């Protein structure tokens, strides 16, 4: 097991071309006998010694849990201490270097409307991570447990192999939602201030995708009004400012969540806002996650009641 940079450097040296710049790859900062030499410029004896050298490889295999690559991710993360520190999404991309989920993220990240909102592609894959977050919360929000990085690792690992139906469904959920948001709000979507906010992105994207799963949004003007109301709401400001965590019951009362009992469902919660009432049948642990450790859930709930 070795870093990608070292392995690619070895490959580029054999090719005599430094691929990122297309320039000739010659050795520098080495013993004087090799300084300035390319692979082809090595003496025959030195080239034979290099080709006969043994490249030691340690193979990490994860047996449990079998549905993801969480242990391999942790190994990458621990070894990622020298040189250029990788972002979490760069590590995921390296761990899942082949597979459907990685390709889905790459394809969706090129979506023209998403690019208009986010801007140029991020060389550190932060934009791809946002796409992953939207998909993960859309499909598995009910199973969310902090920390977020572990939740995203698990989702990407479980979906490393996708069939065509799953790929098409994921692409449809993202592209339809981003289209409606872009058409109604424009390129300034997900920005409560000047900067794109990840919590707002998660909340709005998932809320809209869930709404669209029940049918199209035909009134873009009403959608824009609902979006603007959401951006002004106190609960969303609290959420994206990240000062709501750790006070679940206090926040439930503060923002109008009230527990009641209905038949065999058990404890459910309602949210009342300006005479509009929306009922979410969520267990108490779920609502606690929504208003404490998970700032994401609160936003989804708010947007759902505004636009539904």
pLDDT tens digits, one per residue of 159-190: 888 899 999 999 999 999 999 999 999 999 99
Q: Strand pairing partners for 258?
A: 270
Model confidence at 238: pLDDT above 50: yes
pLDDT of residue 300: 42
Model confidence at 108: pLDDT above 80: yes
Average pLDDT over residues 151-158: 88
Using the Cα atoms of residue 248, residue 143, residue 149 and residue 122 in order, give the sign of their dihedral: negative
pLDDT of residue 77: 65
pLDDT of residue 98: 59
Predicted structure pTM score: 0.66
Average pLDDT over residues 139-158: 86
pLDDT of residue 174: 97
pLDDT of residue 72: 64
Average pLDDT over residues 253-262: 45
pLDDT of residue 298: 40
Query: Percent of the chain having pLDDT more than 90?
Result: 25
pLDDT of residue 177: 94
Average pLDDT over residues 89-100: 75
Model confidence at 270: pLDDT above 70: no
pLDDT of residue 226: 80
pLDDT of residue 188: 94
Greater model confidence, 112 or 79? 112
Determine which of 52-66, 67-81, 143-157, 286-300 has the lowest per-residue pLDDT on average.
286-300
Average pLDDT over residues 137-158: 86
Model confidence at 44: pLDDT above 70: yes
pLDDT of residue 114: 98
Average pLDDT, the chain: 75
pLDDT of residue 29: 85
Q: How confident is the model at residue 111 (pLDDT cuts 50, 70, 90)?
A: very high
Greater model confidence, 132 or 267? 132
Average pLDDT over residues 121-134: 95
């Amino acid at each position: 097991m070795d870093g990608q940079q070292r392995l690619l450097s070895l490959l580029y040296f054999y090719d005599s071309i430094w691929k990122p710049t297309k320039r000739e790859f010659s050795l520098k900062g080495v013993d004087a006998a090799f300084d300035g030499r390319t692979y082809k410029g090595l003496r025959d004896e030195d080239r034979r010694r290099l080709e006969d050298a043994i490249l030691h490889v340690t193979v990490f295999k994860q047996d449990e849990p079998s549905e993801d690559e969480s242990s391999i991710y942790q190994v990458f993360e621990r070894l990622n201490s020298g040189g250029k520190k990788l972002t979490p999404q760069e590590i995921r991309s390296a761990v899942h270097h082949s597979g459907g989920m990685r390709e889905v993220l790459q394809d969706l990240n090129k979506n023209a409307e998403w690019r208009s909102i986010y801007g140029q592609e991020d060389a550190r894959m932060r934009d791809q991570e946002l796409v992953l977050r939207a998909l993960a919360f859309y499909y598995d929000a009910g199973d969310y447990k902090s920390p977020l990085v572990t939740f995203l690792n698990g989702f990407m690992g479980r979906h490393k192999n996708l069939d065509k139906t799953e790929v098409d469904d994921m692409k449809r959920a993202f592209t339809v939602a981003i289209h409606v948001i872009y058409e109604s709000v424009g390129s300034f979507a997900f920005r409560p201030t000047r900067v794109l906010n990840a919590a707002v992105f998660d909340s709005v994207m998932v809320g809209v995708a869930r709404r669209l799963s029940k049918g199209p949004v035909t009134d873009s003007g009403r959608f824009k009004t609902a979006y603007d109301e959401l951006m002004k709401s106190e609960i969303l400001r609290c959420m994206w400012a990240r000062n709501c965590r750790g006070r679940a019951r206090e926040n439930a009362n503060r923002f109008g969540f009230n527990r009641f009992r209905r038949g065999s469902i058990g404890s459910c919660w309602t949210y009342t806002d300006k005479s509009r009432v929306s009922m979410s049948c969520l267990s108490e642990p779920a609502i606690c996650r929504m208003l404490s450790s998970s700032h994401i859930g609160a936003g989804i709930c708010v947007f759902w009641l505004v636009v539904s």
